[in-house]
Chain A
Amino acid sequence: MTTEADRGAPRVSPLYDPKVRGIAYQVVLALVIVFVVYEAATNAIENLRAAKIASGFGFWTVEAGFDINQKLIPFSSTGGSTYGDAFLVGLLNTLIVAAFGIVLATILGFVIGIARLSKNWIIAKLSMVYVEVIRNTPLLLQLLFWYNAVLKPLPDPRNSVSLFGAIFLNNRGVVMPTPIAGPNFDWTWIATLVAIVVWIVLSYVARKQQAATGKRFPANLIGFALFIFLPLIAFWAAGGPLTFEYPKQSRFNLTGGMQIYPEFVALLLGLTIYTAAFIAENVRAGILAVSKGQSEAAHALGLSNGQTLRLIVVPQAMRVIIPPLTSQYLNLTKNSSLAVAIGYPDLVQVFTGTVLNQTGQAVEVIAITMLVYLTISLTTSFFMNIYNSRMALVER
């Protein structure tokens, strides 16, 4: 068979070649975009200068002069922390609430999603009510509700509820003793690491063995036991090198100890419960997408209910679940910026709130913040896509 191209059609001008045209359009578009961005940026800089509004990134290293309560890295106005440090504090606060939120929402979402398909009428209906109520009310409202629900019933710090005289609960949050590692505590970390490595190796060997001989070997059980006991043994052998700093009552608050702030708890609760409702629907849809014949066939082969779910239904359902799950994770991360409403110092609250206001550099601050969310989102998508391609149907 011969085509136009094979015969060689040199007379057709490249002007009419769709391929050449396509590339030309792309190049022109790219140039236009570059031009527009360049023009806009220089124009903005010029105008900011004319309006005597400070511009540039010099503010990054200027002392911030304010304080933030929840911080994962040291930050204080006394210590001369900068606006750049404030950015990091906010970013870490966003990441930590998003990370916890994603894990908890996934667990809760799977539980609710499966419960909605339960044969037990009450469980199924309760899950349905949960999903419908949560999905159909605004998240902001829920956050305010949780913040008040967390704050209102708790006593003031002078009347804290105490658990074992060590953990205290009051309307300033949960205060726990701070663990202080002794000199030989590193052995415990090393033992943990060893246990994890052994676990990975074991499960790899077990998979190989099952593929080769069909024999199953309880690698995960053994791995898990190692993971728990090895560090414990190391800890005990090193003489229990751990002490605690206990919180003490002072005039206003408990001092010393680690504190989990009510703003964090409320935000985490709100995000988890809200996102779980959406994840539950994804999970339900995913499971329903696996045809009934699949489980019937599995049962016919003698697989138990658990095995059928684990080996037949879930892997196939995952293909349907993962793509929408990714967008739920992205939603959760972005929704965490509603933290401003309840005073949780996330990136938006600290950086586009206080820092933007104190420096007045809206363009720079907003641009950086957008870039950060874009980066977080693209990174999340990237990893979810890897996971997805591993779960995807292998076409033969």
Chain B
Amino acid sequence: MKSILKAAAFGIAALGLTVGAASAQGVLQKVKERGQVICGTGLGIAGFGMPDEKGVWKGIDIDYCRAIAAAILNDPMKVKTVSLTAKDRFTALQSGEIDVLIRTTTWTMSRDTSLGLNFAGINYYDGQGFMVRKSMNIKSALELNGASVCTQQGTTTELNLADYFRANKMKYEVVAFVTNDETIKAYEAGRCDVFTTDASGLFAERLKFAKPDDHMILPEIISKEPLAASVRHGDDQWFDLVKWVHYAMLNAEELGVTQANVDQMLKSDNPEIKRLLGTEGKFGEMIGVSNDWVVRIVKNVGNYGEVFERNVGMGSPLKIERGKNNLWTKGGLQYAPPIR
């Protein structure tokens, strides 16, 4: 009994200490000293965060992380990824194991307020969808009464699913797994009639199937899933930096600054471009990095549009339309406050 008490005491003490230590020194300072940004990512989802054949992580979420590293350290490869399941991701961030969580994570009010997190930079506007076998002859999600649904636990998906069936007075059976892979395997083995997750996830996972064409995605999108980066509450400097890296990439796209032309753009007379690229003003210093931070980001990673196309858009196997993720000037929702 005594040894149990002792162990418990040390456990709690260790926990108390780490929670305390996490806020003692600014994350930016730590990243500079460490020479590395530690990003929380998933276990592997095409287009968002997955290692390629050589083991290099690729994806829109990973590129956001690389852009942060580029802005601070001028090297997009100075990134360490920590793979997290949906249910463990917030604990990893709270405890200081990672600097920033960029893992197809939906910004919700409860996560923002009661988990001790701050959300920055919505890098993908998504919504939840359903996938079924074509052979079932289903045209609409409203026909799913009585179905078995496979999903991942610890997600907004689990909750939206309950809401949707409740609102439409339909019954269902839920089978919840820890990882996406387990969920997919169970769906493929016939354990479920339906697989549900963010629509982007449906597209990405369908590529993994032996016969992708046997499956279809139903037209209904049942929720709002603004996927964003998140940091610990209370470190405003770091929060600002993560937020503005995303905005910088959006502004770069809006102003036509690309990976290819960024060097010429340095000579531009356009005052907006001058402020963006640091040839005028001291905007980099305001967030604790050098003034050519956006040059570093765009040169190493690209602007938002380039990152989108390369990872999930037409330049990728996913072939997702820009849609809601287009710039506001082109009918989408991506809108960055100005750099001034």
Chain A positions near chain B (C-beta within 8 angstroms): 29, 33, 36-37, 39-41, 43-44, 47-48, 50-54, 65-69, 77-78, 148, 151-152, 156, 171-172, 250-253, 255, 262-263, 340-343, 345, 349, 353-354, 356-360, 362-363, 370, 374
Contacts and interface: CB of A to CB of B under 8 A. Distances in A.
B178 A353 contact: yes
Contacts of B87: 353-354, 356-357
A50 B234 contact: yes
A151 B6 contact: no
Interface in B12-47: 12-13, 15-17, 19-20, 22-23
B260 interface: no
A341 B182 contact: yes
A360 B233 CA distance: 14
A359 B113 CA distance: 11
A255 B13 contact: no
Nearest to B89: A357
A68 B111 CA distance: 22
Contacts of B109: none
B176 A343 contact: yes
B173 A40 contact: no
A33 B9 CA distance: 7
B94 A253 contact: no
Contact of A51 (B22, B163, B193): B22
B163 A250 contact: no
B115 A356 contact: no
Contacts of B314: none
Given A251-B146, A353-B154, A360-B111, A47 B159 contact: no
Contacts, number: 163
B46 to A, nearest CB: 23
Contact of A47 (B16, B177, B178): B16
Contact of B23 (A41, A51, A253): A51
A333 B19 CA distance: 31
A51 B232 contact: yes
Given A253-B148, A354-B87, A65 B163 contact: yes
Residue among A43, A341, A356, A357 facing the most chain B CB atoms (10 A cut-off): A357
B90 A343 contact: no
Given A52-B233, A343-B186, A357-B153, 5 more contacts: A47-B23, A172-B148, A342-B177, A353-B87, A358-B159
A67 B150 CA distance: 12
Contacts of B23: 47, 50-51
Nearest to B22: A51
A151 B189 contact: yes
B272 interface: no
A130 B321 CA distance: 55
Residue among B155, B177, B233 facing the most chain A CB atoms (10 A cut-off): B177
Nearest to A156: B190
B189 A39 contact: no
- The 8 closest A-B CB pairs, nearest first, are A357-B154, A53-B116, A43-B16, A40-B12, A77-B162, A360-B115, A47-B19, A40-B13
Contacts of B176: 68, 343, 345, 349, 353-354
Contacts of A360: 90-91, 94, 110-111, 114-116
B90 to A, nearest CB: 6
B170 to A, nearest CB: 11
B105 to A, nearest CB: 11
Interface residue tally on B, bucketed by range: 35 or more
Query: Per DSSP, are chain A's interface residues mostly helix, strand or loop, or mixed?
Result: helix
B174 interface: yes
A48 B232 CA distance: 12
Interface of B: 2, 4-6, 8-10, 12-13, 15-17, 19-20, 22-23, 86-88, 90-91, 94, 110-111, 113-116, 143-148, 153-155, 158-159, 161-163, 166, 171-178, 182, 186, 189-191, 193, 232-234
A263 B171 CA distance: 20
Residue among B10, B16, B113, B146 facing the most chain A CB atoms (10 A cut-off): B16
A53 B115 contact: yes
22 contacts: A29-B2, A36-B9, A40-B12, A40-B13, A40-B15, A41-B12, A53-B114, A69-B175, A148-B189, A172-B173, A251-B143, A252-B148, A253-B193, A263-B175, A345-B176, A349-B178, A356-B87, A358-B110, A358-B159, A360-B91, A360-B114, A374-B4
Contact of B158 (A53, A151, A354): A354
Given A353-B153, A360-B94, A252 B233 contact: no
Contact of A358 (B17, B145, B154, B233): B154
A51 B94 contact: yes
A126 B146 CA distance: 45
Contact of A33 (B5, B20, B94): B5
Contacts of B111: 360
Given A65-B159, A171-B190, A48 B178 contact: no
Given A52-B233, A151-B191, A253 B163 contact: no
Nearest to B137: A251
A40 B148 contact: no
Residue among B90, B175, B182 facing the most chain A CB atoms (10 A cut-off): B175
Contact of A52 (B4, B5, B116, B173): B116
A37 B8 contact: yes
B233 A67 contact: no
Nearest to B172: A67
Nearest to B193: A252
A54 B94 CA distance: 12
Contact of A252 (B10, B91, B146): B146
A41 B8 CA distance: 11
Contacts of B143: 251
Given A51-B94, A343-B176, A343-B182, A354 B154 contact: yes
Contacts of A363: 15
A66 B191 contact: no
Contacts of A349: 153, 176, 178
Nearest to B150: A343
Contacts of A152: 189
A44 B15 contact: yes
